A and B are shown apart, each in its own frame.
Chain A
Amino acid sequence: MDILITGILLGATYSLIAMGLTLQYGVARIMNLANGEMLVAGAFGAFWVFTAQQASPFAAALVVVPGAFALNWLIYRYLLRPLVRRAKNRGMLEVDSILATFGMSFVLVGIMLMVFGGGYFTYSYLAEPFEIFGSPFALNRVVACLVAVAISGLLYWGLNGTRTGMALRALAVDPAAAGLVAIDVPRMSAFSFALGGAVTAAGGIVLSTFLTMDASIGVVFTMKALIIVIMGGVGDVRGAIVAALILGLAETAVASLIDPGLTLAAAYLLFILVLLLRPEGLFGRRQS
């Protein structure tokens, strides 16, 4: 039971890390290696609000989320759109976006270093035991889980219950065909990229309540997010969430039952097995 709950809580953490990238990679087709930096930026915002303004870190969302949305919109519009336009095929775009966002991740690290310095930033917020079935769990992780559920619920509703969502899903399946049915592909791509950035930054706010970060730690999150997104199946928010949960549960099970030293090894092994058996990911569509 403990393992199950701990695993789900960790899975929720992972889904917060990965959901933004699903939108950016799955819909806008940008494999964003600067995604982790956006998360760290969100976390920085929360840290600053908590320590300098003495306010709830979640209040940072009021500024950080719209800010991240706007920033990512601009990034897509002015830095990525030219790449999309010059790419002759998906492979070229992949290479170009890997290169460009890799550069961006350096720039973002550099900016954060200038603004916030290089030290660790960590604070205590809701770090209290919260009893579930008689066992204590960290309240901040439980809150993170609830936020993850809320965000994924909103995304699910947004994608399945609105016109914009339908356009985004169409885009995820086939950008060319989406263009043919009068979907404004560039606008929608920019929107999903910006939305992904906003979701990632929001995740950063939540994660900062229990993870210790510094300016250059973003790459750790990027890697995790990439693996979850690919494992779940590109362009499918459900897939990313399920993959995150599976990873969370598997890591916790291995850590509790076998050896904590093998947690990450188990996670990567699982990822590799999924990829070998279902190369398109858990929820992905098989490409012909």
Chain B
Amino acid sequence: MTRAEARNLALAAAAFALLAFLPFLKDSGYLLSVSVSIAMYTVLATSWALFSGPTHYISLATAAFYGLGAYVVAAGIGTISYPLLLVLAGIAGAVLALAVGVTTLRLSGVYFVIFTLGLAELIRQVVTWVQNNLTGSRGMYVLTEITERIIYWELLGLAALVYLVGWLVARSRLGFALRIIGNDELVAAHVGINSAAAKLILFVISGVFAAVVGAVMAPRYTYIEPSIAYSPELSFQVVIMALIGGAHRLWGPLVGVIPFALLWELIAARFPTQTVLLLGVAFLLIVYFIPHGVVGRIESALERLRRGTRRG
């Protein structure tokens, strides 16, 4: 580990520790609920980008994993302890991601995009059918003592984990392989990289995170409806936040999620009757005026700065 890396790591740890104190602020309820959604999207978008950033595959299956995680909790709560359910949700996510990855990672471009969309719907249909015919109203209520504060901490922990995993992957052979795959898959094959396996590992990692996030969020909703747990809007939002931030940097999704979430929050708060219309307009403005994502903006600004100082 270089000194810069150690410093960054320490700073990150300090930041997380600081954030962990947020629930103790006075009147933090609203801030906390905003932070929960920011943390949730951060984990989802970052883990999404771990896979999609280097491989350029756009997956719209986030909701499938998320919903699966939520359902594992809903079906098992009361008989199985909650921490164990989180683990089970992770395992379920991994199994699903593995099955999906093995069959689909050879699809490319838009086919993969729509495939994952179809997949999310398929999972939703199958889970609903199982629920309707086997578990019934059990698998709908998640009544626990878990408060928003605990959910926030869990998400914060997951965020730390996702960054740790991302950082470890980036320094590993796997990360290097992914960068090569993202550049040129043919070259990757010809230098001896097993690109299918590399993509699969990352897909599984992102699937596990999404499933665990779903499991963490389930107690917050109390009542799990298929149309809400498997909302396609979630998948789209994750993709969009990650892309707006920039998927090729580990911290990219974060700089997309935060301003995006705050902007949306602001619109929702200030324009309650035209929320959707203005969200759309804000969104279009972002797409047209920040074409390379926030990361792109930051990087080009840094580049200008560097060039400026060099010249001066």
Give residues in A with beta carbon < 8 Å to B: 31, 33, 79, 82, 86, 90-91, 94-96, 98-100, 102-111, 113-114, 216, 219, 223, 226-227, 230, 234, 259, 261-262, 264-265, 268-269, 271-272, 275-276, 279-280
Q: Provide the residues of chain B in CB contact with A99, threshold 8 Å.
A: 240, 243-244, 283, 287
In the complex, which of the residues A82, A110, A230, A269 contacts B280, with contact meaning CB atoms closer than 8 Å? Answer: A110
Q: Provide the residues of chain B in CB contact with A31, threshold 8 Å.
A: 110
Residue contact B118 to A265, C-beta cutoff 8 Å: no
Closest to A280 in B: B111
B104 proximal to A (CB < 8 A): yes
Residue contact A271 to B284, C-beta cutoff 8 Å: no
Q: Provide the residues of chain B in CB contact with A96, threshold 8 Å.
A: 287, 291
A-B pairs with beta carbons under 8 Å apart, 10 shown = A79-B284, A98-B113, A100-B287, A102-B236, A110-B276, A219-B232, A234-B110, A271-B118, A279-B111, A280-B111
Q: Provide the residues of chain A in CB contact with B243, threshold 8 Å.
A: 95, 99
- B94-120 interface (Cβ within 8 A of A): 103-104, 106-111, 113-115, 117-119
From residue A113, how far is it (CB to closest CB) to chain B in Å? 7
- B120-161 interface (Cβ within 8 A of A): 121-122, 125-126, 128-129, 132-133
B288 proximal to A (CB < 8 A): yes
Residue contact B291 to A264, C-beta cutoff 8 Å: no
Please indicate which of the listed interface residues A113, A259, A268 has the most CB atoms of chain B within 10 Å of its own CB: A268
- A93 and B240 CA atoms in complex are apart in Å by 14
Residue contact B114 to A110, C-beta cutoff 8 Å: no
* SS class, residues of chain B in contact with chain A: helix
- A17 and B119 CA atoms in complex are apart in Å by 20
Residue contact A262 to B232, C-beta cutoff 8 Å: no
B281 proximal to A (CB < 8 A): yes
Give residues in B with beta carbon < 8 Å to A: 56, 58, 103-104, 106-111, 113-115, 117-119, 121-122, 125-126, 128-129, 132-133, 232-233, 236, 239-240, 243-244, 274-281, 283-284, 286-288, 291
In the complex, which of the residues A110, A216, A272 contacts B274, with contact meaning CB atoms closer than 8 Å? Answer: A110
Please indicate which of the listed interface residues A33, A219, A223, A234 has the most CB atoms of chain B within 10 Å of its own CB: A223
Residue contact B279 to A106, C-beta cutoff 8 Å: yes
Are A264 and B274 also in contact (CB < 8 A) when A107-B280, A234-B110 are?
no
Q: Provide the residues of chain B in CB contact with A33, threshold 8 Å.
A: 236
Q: Provide the residues of chain B in CB contact with A272, threshold 8 Å.
A: 115, 118-119, 122
Q: Provide the residues of chain A in CB contact with B113, threshold 8 Å.
A: 94, 98
In order of increasing CB-CB distance, the 4 nearest A-B pairs are A110-B277, A106-B280, A107-B280, A103-B283
Residue contact B291 to A86, C-beta cutoff 8 Å: yes
In the complex, which of the residues B106, B277, B283 contacts A102, with contact meaning CB atoms closer than 8 Å? Answer: B283
- A262 and B121 CA atoms in complex are apart in Å by 12
- A265 and B124 CA atoms in complex are apart in Å by 8
Residue contact A102 to B129, C-beta cutoff 8 Å: no
Residue contact B278 to A110, C-beta cutoff 8 Å: yes
Residue contact A265 to B122, C-beta cutoff 8 Å: yes
From residue B228, how far is it (CB to closest CB) to chain A in Å? 14
From residue B252, how far is it (CB to closest CB) to chain A in Å? 14
In the complex, which of the residues A86, A103, A261, A280 contacts B284, with contact meaning CB atoms closer than 8 Å? Answer: A103
In the complex, which of the residues A91, A106, A259, A279 contacts B283, with contact meaning CB atoms closer than 8 Å? Answer: A106
Q: Provide the residues of chain B in CB contact with A91, threshold 8 Å.
A: 56, 109
Closest to B231 in A: A219
Residue contact B117 to A227, C-beta cutoff 8 Å: yes
In the complex, which of the residues A94, A100, A111 contacts B110, with contact meaning CB atoms closer than 8 Å? Answer: A94
In the complex, which of the residues A230, A261, A269 contacts B122, with contact meaning CB atoms closer than 8 Å? Answer: A269
**7 further A-B pairs in the complex, CB-CB below 8 A; given A31-B110, A90-B109, A261-B129:** A105-B280, A110-B276, A113-B276, A216-B276, A259-B129, A269-B122, A272-B122
Residue contact B109 to A94, C-beta cutoff 8 Å: yes
Q: Provide the residues of chain B in CB contact with A262, threshold 8 Å.
A: 125, 129
From residue A271, how far is it (CB to closest CB) to chain B in Å? 5
Are A276 and B104 also in contact (CB < 8 A) when A103-B287, A106-B276, A265-B125 are?
yes
Are A268 and B277 also in contact (CB < 8 A) when A103-B283, A275-B111 are?
no
Q: Provide the residues of chain A in CB contact with B117, threshold 8 Å.
A: 223, 226-227
Closest to A106 in B: B280
Are A265 and B284 also in contact (CB < 8 A) when A94-B109, A110-B276 are?
no
- A79 and B279 CA atoms in complex are apart in Å by 17
- A262 and B279 CA atoms in complex are apart in Å by 35
- A99 and B283 CA atoms in complex are apart in Å by 8
Are A223 and B58 also in contact (CB < 8 A) when A103-B287, A110-B276, A279-B107 are?
no
Residue contact B110 to A230, C-beta cutoff 8 Å: yes
Q: Provide the residues of chain B in CB contact with A98, threshold 8 Å.
A: 58, 113, 239
